[in-house]
Structure 1
Amino acid sequence: MKRRSRTAQVPLWGVVVLSLLGLLVLGWWTHVQTRSDSSDGRKTLVFWGTTYLGEDIYNLIHEFEQANPEYRVVMSSAAARDTTGDAQRLLCAIAGGVPPDVVWFDRFAIGEWAARGALTDLRPMLAAQDPNDPSLIRLEEYYDWTIAEASYAPPGSDQPPGIYGIPCSADVRAFFVNTDILRQGGYVDERGEPLPPRTWEELREYANRLTVYRVPGDKRSGIVRLGFAPNVGNSWLYMYAWQAGGELMNPQRTQVTMTSPPVIRALRYMVEVYDDLGGVGQVNAFQEAQQGGDLDPFLRGALAMKIDGDVFIEAIADWRPNMELGVYEPPMPADRLAAGAQPVTWSGGFAYVIPATARHKHGAFKFIQFLTSEHGYRLLERGRRERKQSEGRLYLPRCNGNRRLYEAIVRE
């Protein structure tokens, strides 16, 4: 006689008890993770920072805690490749009322996030500063365009713009040229000095002549050395659109103007350069095979020219300080230069922001004051300088949004 197998079953009351225990554990964990005070009674400031600030940021945080014993700073990151482009975690934290208190934030995105109501307008805090505070933020000391980029007012309104971030860095794009490759290609003046391209038309010609393929004349065989490509480095459509005299939005910032003739011209130029080189696929394949550091294609002679941020000068100083190098204004359309247009480039950088639902806004602003103070900037730069010198490398100050502080460091 066969016995029936019986499957073990959990009584209904057991399911209820387990569910209640799970909810209790989840509630306890949520409380621990989101509470704003530490076990010693100090208020916890959460700072989403970046490795760009260097190791000395921890010394600066320690000094802030010593000067402000009511606060404890926890530095972490967003665990996202791009806080502004991959924004889900930060936006969810803001919507849920548990965001970090201070975020190192890309300035170009401040207007978009301010329009969503995700950031705190800092004007009341700026106005309430103690004029005798050594960490006083003086907006007049900053490059005006960094403050403009960190400000926002609804498009088409007469409202004065709010200030949603305090700039902490600034950068600029330049045209980097391996002048040794120019000599090899015969691009020299009557004195034998390298002759960089000045116009789009010359740049396109140089890009073609200086690009080398695995099989000479066969663009499908793969690129061994790239002369130039529009998006290799740190330069995009908006760079070329501005050079062509275009804008991506109307002056009121209420309408996108991507189909305006100058922007179309810029995009067409980019496509033509890529097509000359065998197509964007060939250039992308070349890029994907490259590495960074001392194996960067520009540093090892596999890339002749590129438009990139000034921070690339650091890589040159670190890995090839004696290379033949030229740094110039990016080439412009010939007809625009003939009409008297000045060379165009673009600048950006980062700022410290306070999310709209941050729990310790007063402490967050005090922390931003400390970070952006002369003492804070000098401490971070001193750490970088000492590390570079200990490694036998050249130290170059990083540009700060505060013009007075940056120019003082450069002069020293």
Structure 2
Amino acid sequence: MLKKRFFASFLLLILLLSLTLNVAAKTKISFWHNWSGEGVKAIDSIVNQFEKVYPDIDVEVILTTKIEQKLLVSIAGGAAPDVVLFDRYKTGQFAARGALTELDKFIENSSIKSEDFFNAAWGETIYRGKIYSIPYYVDNRALLYNKKLFEEAGLDPNDPPETWDELIEYSKKLTKYDDEGRITQVGFVPIWDWASLVHYIWQSGGTVFNDDMTKVVFNNEIGVNALQWIVDFIDMCGGVDELISFSSGFGAQINNPFYIGQVAMQSNGPWIYRDIERYAPGFLKNDLRIAPLPKNTEHATIAGGFSLIIPKGAPEPEAAWKFIQYLVQKESQIEWAFASGTIPALKAAAYSDQIMRDDFWEAFVKNMEYGKYRPVHPAFPEVESYIYQAVDKAVYHKMTSKEALDWAAERAQVILDQHNLKIINN
């Protein structure tokens, strides 16, 4: 009897040890993101599904604010997370600082292919010939306009402006004034919302840097003409001060000037969907229309979005890579898109029936055809800040368009040279 009890206890001990070893054998990875709202629920759902497929991996989801600063601190302190949802626009900056893991070796042995993603998204993951992230979602800027206001102005809402010249003519017809000559409704303002001089340079066939990114070229004839077009457009509206006076009465949320008809056309992106759905569902259903941004010589729009990265020094890069692959498969991409109000970076998901059956999302998915990515260079964010300052100087008539862009180019070239020297030395 004693032997039987001993044997049973021994078997129980073996079983407990086995269970303990199985638990201990699990790999734990951390996933940082800064999303909120319905997107959080989608992330939790996708993580739960992943853990069922990979029961040997536990994912700790961590909502993290100020990700960029904390990421650098965590890497320096030897406590990097395994996967981060990261602004793809910053790829060049962080790759140049050695903060990101090269993913080429992982991609070579996986089913992930560059052609499965939007070109503008994939191109932004590459720095100096190496891939540092996998696109998760994309966005772009389009021309959003009010069907009702078009009809009131005698314009065909099915025939939006295609060119810069047409945009000017449409804007004139859509702008209204009171008896004192004050604007009560504006057609379009080229520097409001998510518009950028970079857009207009691209739409004229120009670029910010030369091909090898050793020289800034945004102050050439193409850039100067693009900025002058903006200045002339603003002056046509009555100047910056008049537009500031008009916009001082703008409300927010339910009283957003675009929703209530104070602004007829604007440059904006798909992120606006949730707000319109919440505060102006009637406008979304009946009067909102979307078209590509008008062109000078070609259609072009900034395509942004976020990617998934494995930081340098991540404790479990192999498990992290499995998680990334799961996040960018078609089903996961569609689930995330619906919850977060974003466009999947995977083309098979973006062009799926679930996404394309909605007019709003169909328009933005199709607009990715014209998407371009900003230069993947650590100097670009600083260079872009000088471009914005140049626009301000020109529209306020503190400098001519040529003077403003030359002023910006002189300073931007110094920044570019400094970064390129660091690259050479490294």
TM surpasses 0.5 = yes
SS at match of 2:343: coil
SS at match of 1:74: strand
Contact 1:169 1:401 in 2 (8 A): yes
CA–CA distance in structure 2, aligned partners of residues 71 and 295 of structure 1: 47
Going from structure 1 to structure 2, the CA distance change for 1:264 and 1:122 (only over 3 Å counts) comes to same
SS at match of 2:344: coil
Contact 2:25 2:56 in 1 (8 A): no
Which residue identity lines up with residue 163 of structure 2 in the other structure?
A: T
Which residue identity lines up with residue 95 of structure 1 in the other structure?
A: A
CA–CA distance in structure 1, aligned partners of residues 170 and 356 of structure 2: 37
Gaps of at least 5 residues in structure 2 are: 1-22, 358-426
1:34 maps to which residue? none
SS at match of 2:215: coil
Going from structure 1 to structure 2, the CA distance change for 1:93 and 1:194 (only over 3 Å counts) comes to same
Contact 1:244 1:266 in 2 (8 A): yes
1:306 maps to which residue? 266
Contact 1:49 1:75 in 2 (8 A): no
CA–CA distance in structure 2, aligned partners of residues 288 and 162 of structure 1: 47
Which residue identity lines up with residue 140 of structure 1 in the other structure?
A: E
2:255 to 287, 295, 303: 295
Deviation at 1:291, TM superposition (A): 4.8
Deviation at 1:293, TM superposition (A): 4.3
Which residue identity lines up with residue 348 of structure 1 in the other structure?
A: G
SS at match of 1:55: helix
1:228 maps to which residue? 188
CA–CA distance in structure 1, aligned partners of residues 72 and 334 of structure 2: 33
Contact 1:47 1:73 in 2 (8 A): no
2:167 maps to which residue? 203
2:216 to 232, 256, 264: 256
CA–CA distance in structure 2, aligned partners of residues 95 and 276 of structure 1: 52
1:350 maps to which residue? 306
Which residue identity lines up with residue 99 of structure 1 in the other structure?
A: A
1:32 maps to which residue? none
Which residue identity lines up with residue 70 of structure 2 in the other structure?
A: R
- Does 1:401 find its partner at 2:386? no
2:134 maps to which residue? 166
Going from structure 1 to structure 2, the CA distance change for 1:150 and 1:205 (only over 3 Å counts) comes to same
Going from structure 1 to structure 2, the CA distance change for 1:300 and 1:174 (only over 3 Å counts) comes to same
Across the aligned residues of Structure 1 and Structure 2, the Cα RMSD in angstroms comes to 3.1
Contact 2:206 2:222 in 1 (8 A): yes
Bigger helix share: 2
1:59 maps to which residue? 45
CA–CA distance in structure 2, aligned partners of residues 227 and 112 of structure 1: 37
2:123 to 148, 151, 163: 148
CA displacement, residues 176-231 of structure 1 (integer Å, 9 cap, x when unaligned): 2213223333445xxxx67543332342344355334566314xxxx543321113
**Matched ranges for 1:78-93 at <5 A:** 78-80=64-66, 87-93=68-74
Going from structure 1 to structure 2, the CA distance change for 1:369 and 1:196 (only over 3 Å counts) comes to closer
1:124 maps to which residue? 105
Which residue identity lines up with residue 48 of structure 1 in the other structure?
A: H
Which residue identity lines up with residue 204 of structure 1 in the other structure?
A: I
The farther-off stretch of 107-116 and 288-297 is 288-297
Deviation at 1:50, TM superposition (A): 1.7
CA–CA distance in structure 2, aligned partners of residues 274 and 39 of structure 1: 65
CA displacement, residues 146-186 of structure 1 (integer Å, 9 cap, x when unaligned): 22221111xxxxxxx11111111123322122132233334
CA–CA distance in structure 2, aligned partners of residues 142 and 118 of structure 1: 24
Which residue identity lines up with residue 132 of structure 2 in the other structure?
A: Y
SS at match of 2:324: helix
Deviation at 1:125, TM superposition (A): 1.4
Q: Percent same amino acid at aligned positions?
A: 29
1:328 maps to which residue? 291
Q: How many residues align?
A: 330
2:144 to 161, 176, 182: 176
CA displacement, residues 254-274 of structure 1 (integer Å, 9 cap, x when unaligned): 222121111121122222222
SS at match of 2:86: strand
Going from structure 1 to structure 2, the CA distance change for 1:177 and 1:46 (only over 3 Å counts) comes to closer
Contact 2:39 2:339 in 1 (8 A): no
CA–CA distance in structure 1, aligned partners of residues 82 and 135 of structure 2: 16
The farther-off stretch of 235-244 and 169-178 is 169-178
- Does 1:366 find its partner at 2:322? yes
Deviation at 1:357, TM superposition (A): 2.5
Contact 1:94 1:356 in 2 (8 A): yes
SS at match of 2:307: strand
CA displacement, residues 41-71 of structure 1 (integer Å, 9 cap, x when unaligned): 7524132242373412111112223433444
Whose radius of gyration is greater, 1 or 2? 1
Deviation at 1:280, TM superposition (A): 3.3
1:133 maps to which residue? none
The farther-off stretch of 208-217 and 398-407 is 208-217
Going from structure 1 to structure 2, the CA distance change for 1:410 and 1:88 (only over 3 Å counts) comes to closer
Deviation at 1:285, TM superposition (A): 5.8
Going from structure 1 to structure 2, the CA distance change for 1:272 and 1:94 (only over 3 Å counts) comes to farther
Contact 2:330 2:348 in 1 (8 A): no
2:78 maps to which residue? 97
